[in-house]
Structure 1
């Protein structure tokens, strides 16, 4: 909270600050603060009225749909855009093939970490080209 708000919202601090002002300055401040409060009241009243009007229109449309025999859920399904499939990247084709410890045939695209079997073979002097899919 700012120092201004602490002073404005605490009666003791406000009285202490008011001692340094003349009566004319206090009345001018009161008039301006009253004006700001009235503006805020009006704007919040307008917002409440707009929300009430919106609510009234929604109820009116629900009643119109019910009168025509249209279910709201059907309308909602129609209004929702259809889910698009992920238009992401296409899967990379495999570039390398190997047999893992369990004897299963596996492939690797060459992206990311090297599979442990390939890394072990490379550490033992094998060439990566030995695993290329031809």
Structure 2
């Protein structure tokens, strides 16, 4: 690729390199370059059209914002997705709902998840949850 860049930047070197090629080879090379040029022009035109379309959309959105009476900050605040449960973020701690003291050691449980063994043994012994509920 660097050879092509060098030849494209220096006409004398390009002519010298062209002398080494036959006429059919030169015609084939020119045809290939013409196709590459057409494709590059088409891609550039497509990019310009896309840019113009985005500019038009941005102007349309700006007009809608101005006509709505809202500020950009208000739109951002209103369009921010809300969490499904208020305050239910992963990693938040939950206050314990039950407290049990066995052999001088205090155990606490939120009431969520699997029942701890200490609490399960207490409940299996015929005691109620109300008796260990933190009030």
**Structure 1 residue 73 displacement after superposition:** 2.9
Asked if 2 retains the 8 angstrom alpha-carbon contact of 1:8 and 1:14, the reply is yes
Q: Using structure 1 for the length normalisation, give the TM-score.
A: 0.54
**1-structure distance, mates of 2:63, 2:46:** 26
Post-superposition offset of 1:3: 2.7
Aligned pair count reads 84
Per-residue CA shift, 1:92-126, capped at 9, x if unaligned? xxxxxxxxxxxxxxxxxxxxxxxxxxxxxxxxxxx
Aligned to 2:74: 74
Mapped contact 1:7–1:13 kept (Cα < 8 A): yes
Partner residue in 1 for 2:9: 9
Q: 8 Å contact 1:62–1:72 — kept in the other structure?
A: no
Residue 41 of structure 1 corresponds to 41
d(CA) in 2 for partners of 1:53 and 1:22? Answer: 46
Shift in Å, 1:77: 4.4
Q: CA deviation at 1:65?
A: 1.8
Runs of 4+ deviating beyond 3 Å: 76-81
Partner of 2:28: 28
Secondary structure of the structure 2 residue equivalent to 1:21: coil
- Please report how far the alpha carbon of residue 79 of structure 1 lies from its aligned counterpart in structure 2 after TM superposition: 5.0
1:1-134 maps to which residues of 2 (within 5 A)? Answer: 2-79=2-79
SS in 1 for 2:29: helix
* Structure 1 portions without partners, runs of 5+: 82-134
State the shift of 1:9 in Å: 2.5
Deviation, 1:78, is 4.4
Q: CA RMSD in A?
A: 2.3
